[in-house]
Amino acid sequence: MLTVKELSKSFNGKSVLEKVSLEVSKGDVIVILGPSGSGKTTFLRSLNHLEKADSGILELEGKTYDLAKIGRKDVLELRQKTAFVFQHYNLFANKTALENILEGLVIARKIPKSEAEKIALEALEKVGLLSHKDYYPNQLSGGQQQRIGIARAIAVKPELILFDEPTSALDPELIGDVLGVMKQLAEEGVTMIVVTHEMAFARDVATHIVFMDEGRIIEEGKPKDFFLHPKEERTRKFLARILVDASYTENYIL
């Protein structure tokens, strides 16, 4: 479904991504882990052309894009096939939850408003916030705002949803609701690439784990192999720091 070949990106002469390649099949949940500054978010943003790559090829649903030379028409086409869920929600403060979802359907997708409203209400129901359709962002908790962001993403029925640390800005007690919605999407076969520090989600929901450091993929594999039998020393050191509870891997059973 998606193939990324040798994607590279530098900022002010400093390499952030070095020839990163990735294969994604339909229905995959790819979780990208790694320390801060490892290039995870830049890689994700480059797939949606929120950052312009210096080089790299992206193939999505049979169409090939040269990310360094991609034109406006192809950028719009690429964004028609993907959706992005941001760390800090990116909702319009002056629009209700329903209006925030309608914006992408009516303005970007040119869907008639009556049809778009039906789609938006279905998306709100899926994330458990239909009763909050007329609330403005400042009337919603962080977790609710993020679920609106997810509803906005699924409403456009993309081929692929990209999640950039969707729970990192949330209070701990709000994280579970957002992860619950994402797990539900995974169970429905929605294809996702998720940058996150949520190890339990990676363990329980991911079909494939990618570990990045210093702009490169250091190791990748199935969750069970990644957590129980990491091959690279850098991976082992990362897991030792992140998994504070030593029993985590011992008790891990798929």
Helix (H) or strand (E) holding 184: helix 172-187
**Span 201-212, mean pLDDT?**
96
Q: Which residues contact 63 (CB under 8 A, 6 or more apart)?
A: 77
What are the structural domain ranges in the chain?
2-246
Q: Which two tokens stand for residue 207?
A: 């079909």
Q: What is the per-residue DSSP string for 119-169?
A: HHHHHHHHTT-GGGTT--GGGS-HHHHHHHHHHHHHHT--SEEEEESTTTT
pLDDT surpassing 80 at residue 5: yes
pLDDT surpassing 70 at residue 250: no
Question: Distance between CA atoms of 223 and 254, rounded to whole angstroms?
Answer: 9
CB 217 within 8 Å of CB 210: yes
Question: Distance between CA atoms of 127 and 3, rounded to whole angstroms?
Answer: 29
pLDDT surpassing 80 at residue 243: no
User: What pLDDT band is residue 244 in, cutting at 50, 70 and 90?
Assistant: low
pTM for the whole structure: 0.92
**Span 75-91, mean pLDDT?**
94
pLDDT surpassing 60 at residue 198: yes
Q: How far is residue 221 from each of residues 31, 115, 229, 234, measured CA to CA in Å? A: 10, 41, 10, 15
In the chain, what is the straight-line distance between the N-terminal and C-terminal CA atoms, in Å? Answer: 26
Q: Which two tokens stand for residue 233?
A: 């020393």
| Percentage of the chain modeled with pLDDT above 70 | 96
Fold designation for 2-246: Rossmann fold (3.40.50)
